[in-house]
Structure 1
Amino acid sequence: MIGNVYVIGSYSTKFQKWPDKSGKALTRDALVGALRDAQLNDAGVVENAYFSNCGMGVIWGQDMVRGHSMMAPLVEEGLFPERAPIINVEGACASGSMAFHLAWKDILSGLHDVSLAIGMDKFYHPDMQLVLTAFENGIDREDKDRLIGEYRTVAETCGQDFQFGDNRTIFMDTYAMQACWHMWKWGTTQNQIAVGASKNHYNGSLNPKAQYQFEVPVEKVLSDYMVSYPLTRSMCAPIGDGAAAAILCSETFFNTLPPSVRERSIKVRASVLSSGKHRPINEPGLSKWAADKAYQMAGLGPEDIHVAEVHDATAFCEIYQAEMMGFCPIGTGGKFIESGATMLDGKIPINTSGGLISKGHPIGATGLSMIYEIATQLRGEAGPRQVKNACVGLVENGGGVISVEEMACGVTLLGKP
């Protein structure tokens, strides 16, 4: 490895429905925000970009050259250098972490001194069928029958029915069945899932960039509209739009920066990607593999993490990922969340941003928005949701579905310099 890699600029737009804002405008907002955060007056120092996006092809008809199309106006404005390479990245909901990982690797290799990871998606669209089709592209469509068969087997094991069909989202249905199995195997309760959801809605109420900025008491989480048992609407991430970005640099470039930038910079301690497989449901998932490797890379353990953002496309996912990240033993995630351990003043605060279920989940931007939240926490700039003495943070970002786990996952460890 060639020195350290630092995040010197990080930014996220507010996540919400942006019907009157184009993808190019959201992309511009994220880049300008990251440049300002890094105090970079000369955008020409950025040598390349990895552009994360998932929905533009199916929903908006822009495929193949998504990032190039979104960033072409930024080149004309002098916000991104001419001729610099733009690489399109797509890995379902894990795309943002993939873009970040690739930018990180470019700097580690010595190829670049400054690299940009930027993600944008617009999933709000009047034609919901287009949106549902886009989401279904996150599975192996050629082997769809195998996926459905595996979930039906899981459903039979725990005495449930696997619901699947038109006008439903397959992701919520698969997460619901994983939750049902966890309830059957480990005694996790719907109330424990609701406690986690309520906690994240509270955190979202403190986050001005969250899509939902209101509290939802546990009883209202439970009484909300049932999406797919045991998951109610308040336990599920909403559809929305947004963009986020991170600017990474080498130690050589870092040393040329003014103290005001270096003092707010964040060191990348580890970045690991993993891929899913067809696995037995009682076998630990791909995120545990990635987390274990990230801890080893950084010389850290779960006990060293002060704050974490995990991919809670549903509130059950936080229970599961708390186990996979090693914050609690496997099978005890429900009790762990119920105990208050993941609250802002708990043992390991998780999803201080409000998580996906409150902050929002515009797929291509999600992983980078999680980086932004952890950077904000480590800088001590999170305001009323600030975790005390946060020095090391973790991001877990998963995407797609194969069998009973995600297709892809990224785990990133960040720390103060």
Structure 2
Amino acid sequence: MRDVYVIGTSCTPFGKRPGDGFKDLTREAYLEVLQDAGLETGDGIEQAWFGNCGMGTFGQRNIRGQVCFTPLVREGLFPERVPMINVEGGCATASMAFHGAWKDVASGDMEMSLAIGVEKTFVPGDAERTLEIFEGGIDQLDPGEWHDYYAEKGREAGKPFEANGGGGTVFMNTYAMQAAWHMKHYGTTQEQIAIAASKNHWHGSMNPKAQYRFEVSVEEALADRDISWPLTRAMCAPIGDGAAAAILVSGDRLAGMDRAVRERAIKVRGSVLTGGKYRAADEPGLSRVAAQKAYAKSGLSPTDVDLVEVHDATSFCEIFQLEMLGFAEDGKGGAFVGDGNTRLDGRLPVNLSGGLVSKGHPVGATGLSMIHELALQLRGEAGARQADRARIALAENGGGVIGFDEAACSVILLEGPAA
């Protein structure tokens, strides 16, 4: 396998953007990633991976990427006849697109590949359409299977399963059951979950592209409206729109590029995908398997990692994923967060973008927005939220649900430019 480098990343501002369509968001992310990579057009791109979950709800069920890129091809900004692969993997969609582009280059099949994720989940006055987008992330062919599973796990957690309780999606209720189980078995507290939420809202307040750019105290997070106990609104990712992208190249192609591009290139140390299953409540999740494979393939370990972006669809997820990724012992993630380790000024900054709860979560774009944040950090370009001594970074992104697992999980390890 060849070395692979990220030469450009982009991320649109996330938020409720009813005036912008899929083609608008595609254009915005694509032109920005070209600029970041020092390219005027995409003439060197040999393949593209287009991630999206919900466009079918808007009537475009097939050839989504080809449709969104047609104006860019017509204008000479994207090359003609380039194959575009449409990708869908729930909230892990954009990371799957990244993985495809990485494999293009690592395998030697391509010298330059594009990954882009585009999503709209906010539909003014049509909550049913928004719900339809998210319902695609769980088994609709045999719903009785997960109803039975969650009923059993709810009894184990001491929190009955509510398919539509609390005003959130079914996913918020499953996360809440997992949090309740963790609290029951390990002593994790609601306050520790609130600390994670407050910390990420603080980080997000410094991110000009975050959907929520205001701070939330621990007390305010605890007092906010309940979504599904122990989760309040401040602990849950919002509905929104956005897009993000990355351009990946081989070492050979990078060597022939301008010095300014070479000096900002981010090396991909590893990219791994895993699949979910119906697991026992005390069984490790699929992100642990992905992380262990990524560490083994890269020759790295958790102690080598300087900063992390995790998929905090709820703030409990951050606590759990820190355990799965090897940064905290099982059952100790709450204390790890509560002690301040994951703050910008802590020993392992986590979700400096603001995470999903503050930056936002346009599902088909989320994974690449994590790559964008980590690239900024590794290049020293993150402004007020810049971490110190950032050289190795990890992104964890999960999508869909199968029981207490995500349906798919991505772990990506990146290495910053030499000082």
Mark yes or no: TM-score above 0.5. Answer: yes
Counterpart AA for 1:393:
A
Does the alignment pair 1:63 with 2:65?
no
Distance in 2, matches of 1:74 and 1:238, equals 30
Distance in 1, matches of 2:349 and 2:410, equals 19
Secondary structure at the counterpart of residue 288 of structure 1: helix
Distance in 2, matches of 1:312 and 1:15, equals 16
Hey, what does 2:31 align to over in structure 1? 32
Moved more, 140-149 or 82-91: 140-149
Hey, what does 1:247 align to over in structure 2? 247
Hey, what does 2:361 align to over in structure 1? 361
Secondary structure at the counterpart of residue 400 of structure 1: strand
Contact 1:10 1:37 in 2 (8 A): yes
Counterpart AA for 1:405:
D
Counterpart AA for 1:213:
R
User: In the TM superposition, what whole-angstrom CA distance separates every residue of 1:353-373 from its partner, at most 9, and x where no partner exists?
Assistant: 000000000011100000000
Note the C-alpha offset of 1:212: 0.2
Counterpart AA for 1:83:
R
Hey, what does 2:157 align to over in structure 1? 158
Q: For structure 1, list consecutive stretches of 5 or more residues without a partner in the other structure.
A: none
Hey, what does 1:190 align to over in structure 2? 190
Distance in 1, matches of 2:41 and 2:320, equals 43
Distance in 2, matches of 1:54 and 1:204, equals 25
Note the C-alpha offset of 1:110: 1.1
Distance in 2, matches of 1:158 and 1:174, equals 11
Give the aligned length: 415
Hey, what does 1:342 align to over in structure 2? 342
Counterpart AA for 2:369:
S
Distance in 1, matches of 2:136 and 2:18, equals 23
Contact 1:27 1:243 in 2 (8 A): yes
What's the Cα RMSD here?
0.9
Hey, what does 2:236 align to over in structure 1? 236
Counterpart AA for 1:292:
Q
Secondary structure at the counterpart of residue 402 of structure 2: coil
Secondary structure at the counterpart of residue 245 of structure 2: strand
Hey, what does 2:374 align to over in structure 1? 374
User: In the TM superposition, what whole-angstrom CA distance separates every residue of 1:188-212 from its partner, at most 9, and x where no partner exists?
Assistant: 0100000000000000000000000
User: In the TM superposition, what whole-angstrom CA distance separates every residue of 1:120-156 from its partner, at most 9, and x where no partner exists?
Assistant: 0011102011111211110111221111211111111
**113, 125, 129: which one aligns with 2:123:** 125
The correspondence of residues 44-83 of structure 1 with structure 2, limited to 5 A, is 44-58=43-57, 60-83=58-81
Counterpart AA for 2:77:
L
Distance in 1, matches of 2:41 and 2:97, equals 22
Note the C-alpha offset of 1:168: 4.1
Counterpart AA for 1:121:
E
Distance in 2, matches of 1:325 and 1:378, equals 20
Secondary structure at the counterpart of residue 43 of structure 1: coil
Hey, what does 2:200 align to over in structure 1? 200
Q: TM-score, normalised by structure 2?
A: 0.98
Distance in 1, matches of 2:95 and 2:244, equals 11
Contact 1:132 1:168 in 2 (8 A): no
Does the alignment pair 1:108 with 2:106?
yes
Contact 1:342 1:349 in 2 (8 A): yes
Give the 4+ runs in structure 1 shifted more than 4 A. Answer: none
Contact 2:157 2:177 in 1 (8 A): no
Q: TM-score, normalised by structure 1?
A: 0.98
Note the C-alpha offset of 1:165: 2.9
Distance in 2, matches of 1:400 and 1:19, equals 25
Q: For structure 2, list consecutive stretches of 5 or more residues without a partner in the other structure.
A: none
User: In the TM superposition, what whole-angstrom CA distance separates every residue of 1:157-184 from its partner, at most 9, and x where no partner exists?
Assistant: 2322211138641111111111110111
User: In the TM superposition, what whole-angstrom CA distance separates every residue of 1:225-277 from its partner, at most 9, and x where no partner exists?
Assistant: 10011100000000000000000001110000111111111000000000001
